[in-house]
Amino acid sequence: MRRVVITGLGMITPVANTAEESWQGFLKGKSGTGPLTQIDSTPFNSKVAAEVKNFDPTKYMSLKEIKKTDIFVQFGVATAKMAMADAKLDISKEDAHRVGIMVGSGIGGLRVIEEQHRQMMEKGPGRISPFLIPMLIVNMAPGAISIALGLKGPSTCVATACATGSNAIGDAFKIIQRNEADVMFAGGTESCITNLGFGGFDAMKALSTHNEDPATASRPFDKTRSGFVMGEGCAILIMEELEHAKKRGARIYAEMAGYGMTSDASHITAPDPSGEGAARCMIIAMKDAKIRPEDIDYINAHGTSTPLNDKVETIAIKKALGESIARKVRISSTKSMTGHQLGAAGAVEGAVCVLAIRDQIVPPTINYKHPDPECDLNYVPNEAQACRVRHTLSNSLGFGGHNACIAFKAYQE
């Protein structure tokens, strides 16, 4: 079986606009949440969001390209260029037909849909932009990245709601293992804090209503949690076949070890209360990685800060690892700092696992002050913990019952 390693990272998060700055912010417990500013919060119950700050697409794209793309695509192009630079990957020296891309989005160009619908209603269909369709479709993120970088290998996308980023990384892993590519750009991107997007989640009563102190509104596993904080951002990993990476002298962060995906077949939005699907997903990922429950040092939890998700994920971890082992494993939710980045979440959290292996430290779950008897594991409360990190899991549980788990391990010859 072809081995797959991680050689580059790019990230845009509500905490910072690069991978390294985001990572250092996570280790310091920096909150990226604040008052909702992109839209008027007056009509909504929730008034907080985890927004990307000061992103400048002109650093990565021409003005002409920017005018033809939605922000989620701009995030994708920028992050892919960061990851490529981090990996020191020169496409002109590669067989471009063996370099592919798997980048997904849970929702896609919702902002441009709203804007163009308003334009049509106010001024008629003759004023619809000819770029509407390519701006809104989810696959335009990998499409624009492949055009910008000249990637001619497998190019596709995933759209599995909150599991998107993890599925994209896992699917790219399998593409390399099957010898269909030597290098894959893999991850997720999202930017849909709009009236319709925010309003939809608000109407479901899925969003946090801790409006009085926005920085603490996302509080996974805490007894007082009331919902998730809507976020945005992007992360992309450069994944390479091991011998290809070694031949070009690439720095190796970690090895991609395993991938699992399952379906709850239970409910359109809520996880299966038994946690069976999520547990089975972790078991499949560990089996694929040829590792045992006792090998797991760290789990980056889906940890959305909703009452049901955090309870069910705790149940699932106990089922997958066994209760005695589960109590020993360090578990944290970086959504406490980034909010829920929807289709980008799994990719950011996968990158966090890679960096935890690199630096032998795990980020905290911040805003954890009130223990919940139904969430009784070690959630790394409020402060990062330096420890041995050899094997990690990252969980993503999406609307529709989509479960994805990706496993990384420290690279060894």
Residue whose C-alpha is closest to residue 45's, from 209, 225, 218, 198: 209
Question: Active site residue: 162, 192, 234, 405, which one?
Answer: 162
Q: Under a CB-based contact definition with an 8 Å cutoff, are residues 151 and 99 in contact?
A: yes
**Residue written as token pair 């592919």:** 100
Q: Of 157, 192, 234, 302, which is the active-site residue?
A: 302
Catalytic, out of 210, 244, 340, 402: 340
- The CA distance from 300 to 396, in Å, is 9
Rounded Cα distance, 294 and 267, in Å = 31
Known catalytic residue at 117: no
Distance between CA atoms of 29 and 41, rounded to whole angstroms?
26
Give strand ranges (E) for 53-111.
99-104
Quote the CA–CA distance of 407 and 392 in Å, as a whole number.
6
Give the residue from 62, 150, 160 showing the smallest Cα distance to 101. Answer: 150
Token pair of 240 as six digits: 């390479």
Q: Where are the beta strands (DSSP E) in 30-179?
A: 34-35, 48-49, 99-104, 155-156
Closest listed residue to residue 140, CA positions, set 36, 51, 69? 69
Q: Is residue 402 among the annotated active site residues?
A: no
CA distance 56 to 75: 10
> What gap in Å lies between CA 346 and CA 261, rounded to an integer?
13
* Residues forming a β-bridge with 405: 260, 395
Active site residue 162: yes
Q: Which residues contact 244 (CB under 8 A, 6 or more apart)?
A: 182, 183
Residues designated catalytic: 162, 302, 340
